[in-house]
Chain A
Amino acid sequence: MKPLVVERVHKQYGEKTAVNGISFEVEQGEIYGLLGANGAGKTTTMRMVLGLIYPDEGKILYHGKPYTKEQLSMLGYLPEERGLYPRVQVSDQLIYLAQLRGMSKNDADVSLKQWLDRFEVPEYYNKRVEELSKGNQQKIQFIASVIHRPRIVILDEAFSGLDPVNVELLKSTVKELRDSGTSMLFSTHRMEHVEELCRNITILHRSNPVLQGSLRDIKKRYPREKVVLRTEGEVTGLEGVSGVIGVQKHEYGYEVGIAEEAAAANILRHALERTTIHKFEIMEPTLNEIFIKAVGGDLHE
């Protein structure tokens, strides 16, 4: 039984279609990436999964069952914009939120202390949220979404506002949760995080799912059209090699656009004749490039 199944879900706000027939499945212990430009329908999809709003068509199943109030306790939610009581003690509000999700007060207290220790900030137990820095508030926010040991966690821009050290800390925590069997729905604008964490993704564009599937398959679908070359000396005449459609010179070397993969061999030969090669790589497209292709140039409309 899959933890989360979204089936042909459709949502209309008056005249405007917010989500147009999205379907996806999240396995146990999987982080599923939900990508899209601003206003593409990510938040609406997440809100429907959370049961905040009901889909007009289609259905959402949690472990094979439709949405009921009981499901609430196995959901965890980290909203895009930070949501905590600024003037209330960390312990008070996190235990409150855990209690609302059906945890007993004592269990919540134990769980909170474990999490604070995990993040090496046990002294925040008695602090008010407004006394903490933004990054530390984010840690508390994260704890708020997982303190009750949910089986499905929805993370909306989980790593924004964090320094690189804390991003790593949270990322490793997310991986731990994944390995312990928690399913996650993950939304972000940082494509490198998606490449690192997600097995499957959906890219939404103007309410429509435009690209869907496992990250590996999606990348295979896009041809490799870039070669990165780092050499000892200068390489001239790259533009003249057959199959090359563009050359950019960077500090580290050359970035060469190619029309087909066969052209790569020509470039290698051309370069070898002239100088020593330190690095030669036929790049697979990054998710960033795929995203921009899928969502297209009409992002700025």
Chain B
Amino acid sequence: MNSFWTVAGFTMKNKFKGKSFLITTLIFVVILCVLANLPYIISLFDKNSDKPVSIGYAIDARAVEGTKIAEQLRNSYAGQEKPAIKLTEYPDAGSTEQNEKVLKDAVADKKIKGYLLFGPVNETGLPTVTYKSEKLLDEKTSQALEQGIQIVKTDIVLKDSGLTDEQKSMLLSPVVINTMQIAASDGAGGAGNGKTEAQQGVDMGFVTLLLMLLFFGIMISGQMIASEITAEKSSRVMEIIVTSVSPLKQMFGKIFGMFVVGLTQIVIYVAVVFININLPHNNSAFLQYDIDLSKVDPLLLVYGLLFYVMGFLIYATLFAAVGSIVSRTEDLGQAVMPITMLSLAGFYITTFSISNPDTMLVKVTSFIPFFSPFVMLLRVGLSNPPIWQVIVSIGILLVSIYAAGWVSAKIYRTGVLLYGKRPSWKELRKAMKAYKV
């Protein structure tokens, strides 16, 4: 047991002392700081866009209907508290062509962003409206325009209907559907008393973040384990080490050491995000977007940690086995490809299913080891799987970890002494027999 801790300690010491650890951690910390402050940064820029967009139109004696509607529109916007659009009137220049030329000049002088042209009245009782500008209409402005014209149209239609103002505003108020996610039966999802739409959004974001941490955490540490083992092999330090300590202890000591390093990194990242989010200026920014992180289920964090540990173990043992059969660092990338593919598949199943976490694909893959750490976390986070399914999935995963550890240990024991070209399965089996592993 003693040498297990010696190996783990040495692995950690070298990683923590290494420059690459410091640099990668710092880079991620900076990225996370920016991401966590993004809502606040966006809100800073948004203040400027509160100013109404100015749009021009021309009084045209040849299209009286259009001009009338334009005036009503202008009055309607002027009456609003925070109008998104400010309409500017330009006097009649004599002909339609002349009018458009004046408006174009105004756009060129940056007095207005664009202008409206009113065509002949069609069967809806309104003239056709064309918006012309140098840039495409952004969604906010186009919505405001449509709403404005809708109001004007309703006004015209209802003018003689004898409806009171209250009735009119009732007619105009939009229909809203509130959605709540509830748990119909007791499950592991923790939906419990229901989740609002905003809450679901927060959950989705949070689960995405967890899955990304899980994926990158496992992949980066796994790659490091494999490359360290190959490096030890190619520098022949391995020969001295395996004559000093049993290969099993060495392999698991290394995996454990790397696990602590990876976990430390993740703890640093989570702490950075947590501190950033709790900065005073961020509180209001998050509230504005309806993001309330205090509503995140702490149970989900526990599941996240659990699946991280298990996912790490199952992949790390495989990475160690692959690292042990490769003799040169250059060959490593190719050798770990199958493992990378496997984890990428698991990760992509979750990214594609994040808005639809109840498909058959998700249900099935949440029981398949190598995928289940990702997929089951998605299900627990975003839907409501029965608790027995979660337990079965974890059970299968634990058995697979044991099996992967056993196979990897056998490969490792043989692989660390095989030099030269990467052995085939047949050669590996033969060597195992020869070494009596």
Contacts and interface: CB of A to CB of B under 8 A. Distances in A.
Interface of A: 12-14, 47, 50-54, 69, 72, 75, 77, 79, 81-88, 92-93, 96-97, 99-102, 144-145
Contacts of A54: 435-436
Contact of B237 (A13, A83, A99): A83
Contacts of B290: none
Given A14-B430, A84-B235, A100-B6, A52 B246 contact: no
Contacts, number: 69
A83 B419 CA distance: 14
Given A14-B434, A85-B237, A100 B244 contact: yes
B435 A100 contact: no
Contact of A51 (B13, B235, B238, B243): B243
Interface in B150-194: none
Interface string B225-257: 000000010011111111111100000000000
18 contacts: A14-B434, A52-B239, A53-B417, A72-B244, A77-B239, A81-B239, A82-B236, A83-B239, A85-B237, A87-B18, A88-B14, A92-B10, A97-B244, A100-B3, A100-B6, A100-B7, A100-B244, A102-B2
Listed residue (A13, A53, A100) with the most chain B CB atoms within 10 angstroms of its CB: A100
Contacts of B13: 92
A53 B432 CA distance: 10
Given A81-B236, A84-B235, A96 B434 contact: no
Interface in B1-58: 2-3, 6-7, 10, 13-14, 18
B6 A83 contact: no
B244 A79 contact: no
Given A53-B417, A77-B239, 6 more contacts: A72-B243, A79-B239, A81-B236, A81-B239, A85-B232, A144-B240
Q: In the complex, which of the residues B7, B14, B238, B244 has the most CB atoms of chain A within 10 Å of its own CB atom? A: B244
Contact of B245 (A84, A100, A145): A100
A97 B13 CA distance: 14
Interface of B (DSSP majority class): helix
A75 B244 CA distance: 8
B65 to A, nearest CB: 81
B235 A86 contact: yes
B177 to A, nearest CB: 61
Contacts of B2: 102
A53 B434 contact: yes
Given A69-B246, A72-B245, A101-B244, A79 B235 contact: no
A75 B243 contact: yes
B240 A96 contact: no
Given A54-B435, A83-B236, A96 B6 contact: yes
B242 A84 contact: no
Contacts of B3: 99-100
A82 B239 CA distance: 10
Contacts of A86: 235
- Which are the 7 A-B pairs with shortest beta-carbon distances? A83-B236, A100-B244, A83-B237, A79-B239, A81-B236, A50-B243, A96-B10
A100 to B, nearest CB: 4
Interface in B241-288: 241-246
B389 to A, nearest CB: 43
In the complex, which of the residues A53, A75, A82 has the most CB atoms of chain B within 10 Å of its own CB atom?
A: A53
A93 B236 CA distance: 13
A152 B366 CA distance: 54
A125 to B, nearest CB: 16
Contacts of B417: 47, 52-53
A72 B3 CA distance: 12
A82 B241 CA distance: 13
Contacts of A84: 235, 237
Contacts of A14: 430, 434
A115 to B, nearest CB: 16
Given A96-B6, A100-B6, A79 B236 contact: yes
A79 B240 contact: yes
A81 B236 CA distance: 7
A162 B218 CA distance: 44
A51 B7 CA distance: 20
A83 B434 contact: no
B6 A99 contact: yes
A83 B436 CA distance: 25
Contacts of B430: 13-14
A17 to B, nearest CB: 12
Nearest to B3: A100
A77 B237 CA distance: 11
B243 A77 contact: yes
A53 B6 contact: no
Contacts of B10: 92, 96
Contacts of A79: 236, 239-240
A102 B243 CA distance: 12
Nearest to A50: B243
Contacts of A50: 243
Nearest to B7: A100
B241 A12 contact: no
Contact of B235 (A47, A85, A96, A101): A85
A215 B236 CA distance: 32
Contacts of A75: 243
A79 B242 CA distance: 12
Nearest to B11: A96
Interface in B412-427: 417
B3 to A, nearest CB: 5
A236 B176 CA distance: 124
B285 to A, nearest CB: 44
B246 A13 contact: no
A99 B7 CA distance: 9
A101 B250 CA distance: 13
Nearest to A77: B243
Given A14-B434, A53-B434, A100-B3, A83 B240 contact: yes
A44 to B, nearest CB: 10
A97 B243 contact: no
Given A12-B434, A100-B3, A52 B242 contact: yes
